Structure 1
Amino acid sequence: MMTYKTLTAGLLAASMLTAPAFADDMTMVKEVDVDVELEDLANANAAAHWTMIEDDLENAIVERLVGRTDDEGVRISIDIDEIELANTLQNAAGVADSSLSGRVKILSPNDNSKFETYDLSVAFDQAILFLPEGFDVTALTTDSKEYYDGMIAAFADHVVKRLDG
């Protein structure tokens, strides 16, 4: 009979053996740049509330790239073009969805297969996954730290997952 410790030890050993193989398939990154023109955003309240989004989104992406940086890596450029914040009443009524949208460009000076441009939009229903465990979603408002952090985390997560997809 296999015990929990035996199974865990086996999984750890297997992951250590396969980790270098996965490392070769990962896209390495040299630079991450996020640009937001706050005056172009669709929602004036969003522009006023989300003043640190450039730095926060860059940092969230870089945190997910630990061990994946290289001077020969790709450059990730993101132009956020819309932050649409539904107010709490709209969210409760399902009238409007909150979203964070932008154009993502992956550029490589060394590898012609590592070029990509795509539009990414993250709705709040995706950001719920990044809220603290046990957080009361019914108490959430668009101006709360948890809401902001969840939207940033969801966007960053999608960008990094798509690098190797």
Structure 2
Amino acid sequence: MGSTSSGREAGARDRDSEGRARNARPRDGLGRPLPYGASGVDRQPEGVVRTPEQTVAEAQELLDAGRPFHAHEVFEDAWKAGPDRERGLWRGLAQLAVGLTHSARGNVTGGARLLRRGAGAVDEWAADTGLPRPYGMDLAGVTAWARELAANVEADAAPVDAGRCAPTLRGAP
């Protein structure tokens, strides 16, 4: 088998010692794969255990920087590592970040669908728990943002600027 210009064997797959895909390929700011050898943005480390406050702060920084794909990974860590009773919240927030990612990539249908699905999950979680402002987050404001952005994405049918369209998780007190 011949080598590619990046030094990888043609047809070789990037796997860890247990055979799971590592996907070490460089990515752009919206998480899209770039050619091997290209310079991409740093990826979020996976499996990091953060406090909920750290999760919100780090995700907000990434959202503000126009990196919703990376914010989704931070929310996903919280979803997987957090208490069972909070998984619906973090999963819904991860869906909102993925919805923004798809909207920024120009995937109108997928973006709007995930924004609405995430808003519904966050709304449902807040209703079930009676906690509209967990960890200082303004869940009503976040879900209103998501539904408005979904409508705008469908109406404009054009990619959005992820940094300019980012939600403010904590909103006004």
TM-score range, shorter chain: under 0.3
Structure showing greater radius of gyration is 1
TM-score by length of 1: 0.21
Q: Which protein has the bigger helix share?
A: 2
Q: Which protein has the bigger strand share?
A: 1
Of structures 1 and 2, the one scoring higher in RCO (CA 8 A, sep 6+) is: 1
